[in-house]
Structure 1
């Protein structure tokens, strides 16, 4: 039995740079995995807090994580009614600088959802895989379905699309949000360790103040 304290060292002044470093270490540690999961929590009028795990899409040009959705979904309606959200990234078995495996938890605290302008949607739509594009057309999110009926609808849609030889047009429901946090919280822990956290807090002057906080 043993116990130790983890320590985050040499962290940059900007939290986005810290986030990018962790993503790079995660990609290097898991070269066969191309997906980073992002857990998004919103406030729902009916059920209270709702969370879902979605695919991390990257950063906007102004360095905010963003999320793609459709206007008919519950998460869109949640964010429209209350733009405050909680976001968590959880990455395990990431090789640290001293070649040991650690776990990182990255949270965006007090994140405000801001819908991206419609002028940016065509470029994002063009990058979507066909399966995601078709889902946006045929899947009534959250509604009860008959699986056989939905499969028949999907197969017919796919057949007609392939026969047309044309790209699928972006539906008007397709949209995206970026998330502007008040704090970035980075937690690092290895086996047999008490986790360390570094938190970046946004100041009134627009700069970030960083500090270790207890776990």
Structure 2
């Protein structure tokens, strides 16, 4: 009798029997993941009259709390066919009018915004059990502002912005690095901002502040800009 063959068959049978249960266990563990939030609360009286001032307050608190990458946000755009897409980008400026980030104008998000100049931003500071959603119109910032920010970036990031034709296919990593070396050789330590690269600003007409609470009874305070240009606040059910 070939015991080696039998042992191999027995092992195979055992693995086959365990596989479904392991898959079920994995699926159940994802579905069962949950947190009962209890860090803080939020009422209308807690919020400032202007949503951008309130946003700056929360962003400052996220920075002080040393939340990892508190300036990261999800940017959602929609193309001319109504197909949405989202990605993580970094806020680089904040003022009373809105939120600014920088990217390649010919990237997918740039093409989306050229055809449909509206977007949504989402900040999620999980350690503080907070989210902020902003929706509104998007405009390009001035060339002077784009030039100023580009020149403030690390040199390697400047060269990278020149070398990469963002969102376009490329054969391999080696070719991308070759493009970088060629740009580095051509532009040296004083590269100029490409005309295809610059800033966008989202000017919100809706801003929602979300604070996690126990039993999924989360606090939601939303600001909406009325037809007279005045911000109105109200509480939403979770």
Q: Specify the TM-score bucket, using the shorter chain as the normaliser.
A: 0.7 to 0.9
RMSD: 2.4
Runs of at least 4 residues off by over 3 Å: 3-7, 155-161, 190-193
> Normalized against structure 2, the TM-score is what?
0.75
Show the 5 A alignment for 1:7-156. Answer: 7-9=41-43, 10-30=46-66, 33=68, 35-45=70-80, 48-60=83-95, 62-94=96-128, 103-109=129-135, 111-145=136-170, 146-156=172-182
Q: SS of 2:168's equivalent?
A: coil
Gaps of 5+ in 2: 1-35
- Pick the structure with more strand per residue: 1
Partner of 1:205: 228
Partner of 1:195: 218
- Pick the structure with more helix per residue: 2
Mean Cα deviation higher: 128-137 or 79-88:
128-137
**Residues 70 and 125 of structure 2 are in contact (CA less than 8 Å); yes or no, is this contact kept in structure 1?**
no
Distance 1:24 1:194 in 2: 25
Distance 1:131 1:45 in 2: 34
Distance 1:206 1:186, change over 3 A: same
Distance 1:123 1:209 in 2: 35
Q: SS of 1:181's equivalent?
A: strand
Q: How many residues were matched structurally?
A: 200
> Normalized against structure 1, the TM-score is what?
0.82
